[in-house]
Amino acid sequence: MKPTNSKVPALPTLPDPHADCRGVASVLARVGDKWSVFVIMMLFDGPKRFNEIKRLVAGISQRMLTLTLRGLERDGLVTRTIFPTIPPRVDYELTDLGRGLSKPVIALGEWAKAHQPEIEAARERFDGRKEAAE
C-alpha cells in the first residue's frame, strides 16, 4: 500500500508570542542581579580598578565580582581596558549603554535605601502574622 497524497502543505510558522518576554527576562536577570546593580552604581562616576570596586561593594567576593564584571562586559554595559604597565593596570568603565542603565539603577537603589525602614517594618508585621497563624 502506497500513500496517494504525499504533498501535504506545511502549517504556517507563527511568531512566538513569548519571544519578547524571554528576551526581556534575560536582560532583567542581568540588570536585576544585586551585584550587577551595585557595580553599575559604583562605576557611575567614572572608571575604576578591580580592587577599588571590590572595596566599594561590601560583601562581594573576588570570584563573584569577576563573574559580575564579565557578565556586564558580555552584555555591553561595561568595558575593560588593559594598560600595558608593570604590573598591568585594568580599568572597568560603563559604556554608553551602561550609563543609560545607571540612571534607573541608581534611582532604584536610592528608593530602596529611602524605604528600607518601611520594608523592614512590613516584613516584621508579615512574619508576626505568619507565626501567629502557625
CA 49 – CA 39 distance, rounded (Å): 12
Half-sphere exposure of 119 (CA within 13 A, CB side): 6
The answer to whether residue 122 sits within a structural domain is yes
The answer to whether residue 9 sits within a structural domain is no
The answer to whether residue 6 sits within a structural domain is no
The answer to whether residue 5 sits within a structural domain is no
The C-alpha cell at 119 is 520594608
* Strands 78-83 and 48-49, bridge-based pairing: unpaired
pLDDT tens track for 1-32 = 565 656 656 656 666 666 677 777 877 887 77
Residue 81 belongs to domain spanning: 22-133
Number of domains within the chain: 1
The answer to whether residue 88 sits within a structural domain is yes
Confidence bin at 34 (pLDDT 50/70/90): confident
Confidence (pTM): 0.73
The answer to whether residue 13 sits within a structural domain is no
CATH code of the domain containing 109: 1.10.10.10
pLDDT tens track for 74-129 = 999 999 999 999 888 999 999 999 999 988 988 988 898 899 999 999 999 999 88
Task: Compute CA distances 65 → 33, 34, 95, whole Å.
Answer: 12, 11, 18
Computed over its alpha carbons, how large is the radius of gyration of the chain?
A: 24
The answer to whether residue 91 sits within a structural domain is yes
The answer to whether residue 4 sits within a structural domain is no
Start-end of H helices in 8-95 = 19-31, 34-43, 50-56, 62-74
CA 67 – CA 84 distance, rounded (Å): 23
